[in-house]
Amino acid sequence: MVQERIAVVGLGYVGIPLAALLADKGFDVVGIDVSKERASKVNEGVLPLKGVEPGLSSMLTRGVRDRRLRATTDYAHLADRTAVFVCVDTPIDEHRRPDYSRLVQAVTDIGRNMRKGTLVVIESTIAPGTMLDLVAPALEKGSGLLRGKGFKLAHCPERVMPGRLLRNLREYDRVVGALDRRSAERAVAIYSTITKGELHTTDLTSAEVAKTAENAYRDVQIAFANEVALICEGLGCDAFEVRRLVNSCPFRDMHVPGAGVGGHCLPKDPWLLVHGAKGTDPRLIPAARAVNDSMPFHVLDLVEEALRRAHVKKKRAVVAVLGASFLQDSGDTRNSPTVPLLESLKGCVAELRLHDPFVDSLAGVEASDDPKDVLRGADLAVVMVAHEAYGKMTPATIKKLMRTPAVVDGRNVFSSDRMAKAGFVYLGVGKGLT
């Protein structure tokens, strides 16, 4: 294998662990990001991501210390790179269509600065057809080179998750879509140094469909669990007990219901798959999205009911929201279900408080790092994230802090029986209301 000199464009939850791991495997790596602050932190050996990421901070520091990893905002540093990995955000707009402004800017700048023979790998998740219809033409236009002959091209969509970034990179199988055989060989040669998982080679479009479909599949599964949870609430039974019973049957894997689906992937990737569909009218995937998007507003309904049962007027209520991120023990707030809840409660309650161990503020609400401060004197606690710290709190401790013992549990953190025995008004997603 050619001793590749690598650039990673986009130093976020995908790019930073990828750059750090490649450097740890002995590659010379340059990270490129539009944020001067983020590039500076990387050059100082400081991990700019919040949350618990086992092993990543020390790996990043080691790579910078050993001069195998550095960061910049200048694409001119691509001049001596032989391989470029693109890890920029690819969000959707208000019309649920792809917003590729960052991707277009990135591949345009790469094209203007890359050398002949460079391998370009897109790790960003994209709608089917994007590699051939957008990425390849933009690289050709910027570089004056032809795909295949002048540069190599691959799409290896990321499969990382906050809280286990390095673990996923090291262990998960990867799909490597490639323009041609040589592109596939070079991409596989690099990825084989950082992962124990199997590398599945295919064409570019199949790789695009595979990534968007795998996340749409999970989104549909979660929507099913959420719909069953709503049914259970109306029937007065516990969806988590129902889930246990369902999954006792072979080949069943009912997911966990909850207060909503967040993150960068699941709220977006199903729409990318729908956008890329040609000559079809997908119905199941949009329906699942609607169910999952509705869950924070269902939590709001539970808030109203809990306050009614606790005999607390909404306008006089002090409400403590526990959890700002979209995932437990992470500081990632992208598409957090807590956002619509906070926005709906603003101005409707006497005081709105927020706690999160990894987040400073969300939706204009400052977050405390001490859950006791948030709970002290509150009339209602709303659990939106299953942070480890919440599970360690006992009902007795919570009750002593609160003015009114009322809890809405969006993540099944507490036991219905224990909360009832402690004298709480206790409602939760998937827990019977009757």
Q: Which residues are catalytic?
A: 211, 265
Which residue has tokens 């033409």?
Answer: 137
Q: Which two tokens stand for residue 41?
A: 């932190």
Sequence letter at residue 359:
V
> Residue 240 phi/psi, 5° resolution?
-75, -30
What span, in angstroms and rounded, lies between the C-alpha atoms of 368 and 365? 10
- On whether the CB atoms of residues 190 and 254 are closer than 8 A, the answer is no
Q: Look up residue 135 and give its DSSP letter.
A: I
Q: Which two tokens stand for residue 115?
A: 């050398």
Segment 348-354 long-range contacts (CB within 8 Å, at least 24 positions apart): 348/314, 348/315, 349/314, 349/315, 349/317, 349/318, 349/319, 350/315, 350/316, 350/317, 350/318, 351/317, 351/318, 351/319, 352/319, 352/321, 353/318, 353/319, 353/320, 353/321, 353/378, 354/320, 354/321, 354/324
Cβ-in-10-Å burial (0-12, 13-18, 19+) of 305 comes to: middle
Collapsing DSSP to helix, strand or coil, 352 comes out as strand
Q: Which two tokens stand for residue 425?
A: 């008004």
What span, in angstroms and rounded, lies between the C-alpha atoms of 375 and 370? 9
Q: Which residues, 6 or more positions from 254, have their beta carbon under 8 angstroms from its beta carbon?
A: 221, 224, 225, 228, 243, 246, 247
| Partners of 341 in beta bridges | none
What span, in angstroms and rounded, lies between the C-alpha atoms of 89 and 126? 10
Helices 239-246 and 204-235 pack at an angle, to 10 degrees, of: 120
Where does 261-283 have alpha helices with state H?
Answer: 269-276
> Residue 359 phi/psi, 5° resolution?
-125, 135
Collapsing DSSP to helix, strand or coil, 214 comes out as helix
Q: Which two tokens stand for residue 126?
A: 């994209």
Q: Which two tokens stand for residue 110?
A: 């790469």
> Residue 86 phi/psi, 5° resolution?
-105, 120
